[in-house]
A and B are shown apart, each in its own frame.
Chain A
Amino acid sequence: MLQKVVRSTVIDAPIERVWDVLRDFNSHHQWHEVVQESRIEVGRQSSQVGCVRAFRLKDGNFIREQLLALDDREYRSTYCIVEATVPLRRYVATVTLKPVTDGNRTFWHWESTFATPPGEERRLRDLVATGVYEAGFENLRRHLRQGMDLQHRGAAVMPSALPVSCRQVRQDRYGGPEVLTLSQGEVPAPGQGEVRIVQRAIGVNYFDIYLRRGLIPALMPLPGTPGMEAAGTVLNVGDGVGGLMPGDRVAYLCPQPGAYASIRNVPAETVVRLPASIDDEVAAALLLKGITADYLLRDLGRVSSGQRWLVHAAAGGLGLAVCAWARALGARVIGTVSSESKARIARDAGCEDVIVAPNYQFSRAVLRSFGQGADVIVDGLGEQARDENFASLAPAGHWISLGQATGALRPIDPDWLVAKSASFSRPVVFAYTQPRTRLVERAERVWQALAQGQLRAPLIERHGLEHAARAHERLESRQTTGALVLVV
């Protein structure tokens, strides 16, 4: 009776990368531990259908296999044994890869049929299933994780145990933008659960300014490096990291500051892989803002058709994302900005009305457009706009306080809220990005929204890493529109 063996797994790498290794009929000695050496007979190419590979295995056995079919469109390769010192007869095997579109991973299916001498069925099935296929899954995983496939193509792969030098923005005291200066540093090998990333674009956020000024010293003691998001390429990964490999293009959103640097270690929990369509600067400019917009719209605001949203700083990076996305999902949106030129940008992002309110007087205009007021307020203004915000809120409205650019909000009295049956939220993004699967889901929705035009590619103002101080000056001046990015 013909024996059949089927084994399958999921590899945390894009299908092109896995296929690049597996389609090479002469690659097994590079990644599969049971194979000692492999060569293609009589000068053929390893992608030539009909070619024969001669294997010598570590246990001394010898096998010749012929490539019967190779399909780059279906990611499939079929081969048979033509001669072997192992008694596998009429052995025909097929390797099939399929893309896991949800997460950009790869499903790998490996199956074969063969005959055996009587009594040897069990032993040979185990040999093929465990010794060849399952061991192969593990071996290929390690091969990719160590970046061996990239090395093979001539790319530089760093030894993972060594520290590497980097450029980083450091501050030795809290204060104005001038405390940010560039210096040389060293990044140790990634620890347990960490990945080391070569960064190319770093997002600058208003939160970085709070850190720089020393408003949250517990989060960034001195000397410190601000920054919570960046994009780049994985250099290497520490122990216990699944789902990320050297060479992966990634972005991260990390509660521990330190992003203003050329190279950095971050917990793998905070990292997402980037689709090819999203470039580094867009990722650095949009990850935090897009994910924040995602939880504001879906989790807190529960956006629905016709719902009335009031968004402050509507021409800023987050404001533009919230306005455009809310509008695309059917909500009505009013924005506030500080100048006429910003009003044009906010209108362009989908605001039906934009209020120029340099002195934070906006409630009358909001009530004029929205009648009873706003169902949801996205507030980064804080104390000076406190009463205006409350006056703008519709009954049973939701006031979401994300920042306090005009000063810290005084405590909110619950009896004050009751007058409007209002809800008040003071969310932190990191409560909405754990575990990593939630972060990945949100990031994918952001990239999807960008691809569909629900979100627009952000306007990006670029500064060199060495000019971080100037980037902060610009952000604090309230003259920027869109997103600030430091490029390495």
Chain B
Amino acid sequence: MIRIYVSSVIDASADSVWSRIRDFNGLPGWHPAIADSRIENQQPADRVGCIRHFHTRDGGLIRERLLALSDFDFACTYEILESPMGVEHYVATLKLTPVTDGGRCFAEWSAEFECAPGRERELSDLIGQGVFQGGFDALKKLFSRR
């Protein structure tokens, strides 16, 4: 089992960042690597169990199921059902925690998965840097302009 953990500090309250990222169908609105997204079967995006169906900018199709959503803990957990990355049993959590000092928030994005031997490093970099840190960098930019 491979574990990835990336964390950052975003200069906006957990409330306002959460209102941006809680939408399970909203990745294209803030994540630079995502081109489009829809929720399958016309489900609402905050229904636990719904599936988002989206494309990355390089054309890859990914389907992910929402496993848990907490407006109380500012957290969301999901699993990958289908992707070109070659990962198995992939479960990820994105979570915000308020930093009481200064109205900022602490953002954590973690994942666990399995993959073919020898691909651990490549996938850790792709997911940790490309997806997670890339997303945090975009959020930091988004909220620094306000």
Tell me the A residues contacting B by CB distance below 8 Å: 6-10, 98-103, 105, 107, 109, 134, 137, 441, 448, 452
Report yes or no: A10 in contact with B9, Cβ–Cβ below 8 A.
yes
Task: Give Cα A105 to B100, complex, Å.
Answer: 16
The chain A residue with its CB closest to the CB of B128 is: A101
Report yes or no: A102 in contact with B99, Cβ–Cβ below 8 A.
no
- Min CB gap A438→B, angstroms: 11
The chain B residue with its CB closest to the CB of A98 is: B7
- Min CB gap B109→A, angstroms: 10
Report yes or no: A7 in contact with B100, Cβ–Cβ below 8 A.
yes
Report yes or no: B133 in contact with A452, Cβ–Cβ below 8 A.
no
Report yes or no: A101 in contact with B9, Cβ–Cβ below 8 A.
no
Could you give 28 example pairs across A and B, Cβ below 8 Å? A7-B101, A8-B97, A8-B99, A8-B100, A9-B99, A9-B101, A9-B102, A10-B99, A10-B101, A98-B108, A99-B5, A100-B7, A101-B6, A101-B7, A101-B8, A101-B133, A102-B7, A102-B8, A102-B133, A102-B136, A103-B8, A103-B9, A107-B99, A134-B101, A448-B125, A448-B129, A452-B121, A452-B125
The chain B residue with its CB closest to the CB of A99 is: B7
Contact with A along B124-146 (1 / 0, CB 8 A): 01000100010011000000000
Task: Give which listed residue, A8, A9, A102, contacts B6 with CB less than 8 A.
Answer: A102
Q: A102-B133, A102-B136, A448-B129 are in contact. Are A10 and B104 (CB under 8 A)?
A: yes
Task: Give Cα A100 to B129, complex, Å.
Answer: 14
| In the assembled complex, B98 has its CB within 8 A of some CB on chain A | yes
Q: A107-B7, A107-B9, A107-B97 are in contact. Are A10 and B106 (CB under 8 A)?
A: yes
- Min CB gap A434→B, angstroms: 14
Q: A98-B106, A452-B125 are in contact. Are A8 and B9 (CB under 8 A)?
A: no
- Min CB gap A125→B, angstroms: 13
Report yes or no: A8 in contact with B98, Cβ–Cβ below 8 A.
yes
Tell me which of A98, A101, A137, A452 has the highest count of chain B C-beta atoms within 10 A of its own C-beta: A101
Q: Is the interface of B mostly helix, strand, loop or mixed?
A: strand
Tell me which of A99, A107, A109, A448 has the highest count of chain B C-beta atoms within 10 A of its own C-beta: A107
The chain A residue with its CB closest to the CB of B58 is: A305
Task: Give Cα A452 to B130, complex, Å.
Answer: 13
Number of A-B contacts (CB under 8 A): 55
The chain A residue with its CB closest to the CB of B121 is: A452
Task: Give Cα A134 to B102, complex, Å.
Answer: 11
Task: Give Cα A103 to B7, complex, Å.
Answer: 9
Task: Give Cα A109 to B99, complex, Å.
Answer: 8
Report yes or no: A441 in contact with B125, Cβ–Cβ below 8 A.
no
Task: Give Cα A107 to B104, complex, Å.
Answer: 11
Residues in A neighbouring B102, C-beta threshold 8 A: 9-10
Residues in A neighbouring B125, C-beta threshold 8 A: 448, 452
Report yes or no: B108 in contact with A6, Cβ–Cβ below 8 A.
no
Report yes or no: B101 in contact with A107, Cβ–Cβ below 8 A.
no
Task: Give Cα A10 to B11, complex, Å.
Answer: 12
Contact with A along B3-19 (1 / 0, CB 8 A): 00111110000000000
- Min CB gap B54→A, angstroms: 22
- Min CB gap A19→B, angstroms: 15
Task: Give which listed residue, A6, A99, A103, contacts B100 with CB less than 8 A.
Answer: A6
- Min CB gap A48→B, angstroms: 29
Task: Give Cα A8 to B105, complex, Å.
Answer: 10
Report yes or no: B8 in contact with A137, Cβ–Cβ below 8 A.
no
Residues in B neighbouring A109, C-beta threshold 8 A: 97
Residues in B neighbouring A7, C-beta threshold 8 A: 100-101
The chain A residue with its CB closest to the CB of B8 is: A102
- Min CB gap A18→B, angstroms: 14
- Min CB gap A293→B, angstroms: 17
Report yes or no: B98 in contact with A105, Cβ–Cβ below 8 A.
no
Residues in B neighbouring A107, C-beta threshold 8 A: 7, 9, 97, 99, 106
Task: Give Cα A473 to B30, complex, Å.
Answer: 51
Residues in B neighbouring A10, C-beta threshold 8 A: 9, 99, 101-102, 104, 106
Report yes or no: A101 in contact with B99, Cβ–Cβ below 8 A.
no
Report yes or no: B9 in contact with A137, Cβ–Cβ below 8 A.
no
Residues in A neighbouring B101, C-beta threshold 8 A: 7-10, 134, 137
Residues in B neighbouring A137, C-beta threshold 8 A: 101
Residues in A neighbouring B9, C-beta threshold 8 A: 10, 100, 102-103, 105, 107
Residues in A neighbouring B98, C-beta threshold 8 A: 8
Task: Give Cα A99 to B5, complex, Å.
Answer: 9
Residues in A neighbouring B137, C-beta threshold 8 A: 441
Residues in B neighbouring A98, C-beta threshold 8 A: 7, 106, 108
- Min CB gap B102→A, angstroms: 8
Report yes or no: B100 in contact with A9, Cβ–Cβ below 8 A.
yes
- Min CB gap B116→A, angstroms: 18
Task: Give Cα A101 to B129, complex, Å.
Answer: 11
The chain A residue with its CB closest to the CB of B125 is: A452
Across the A-B interface, the 3 shortest Cβ-Cβ residue pairs: A102-B8, A9-B101, A107-B106
- Min CB gap B124→A, angstroms: 10
- Min CB gap A303→B, angstroms: 15
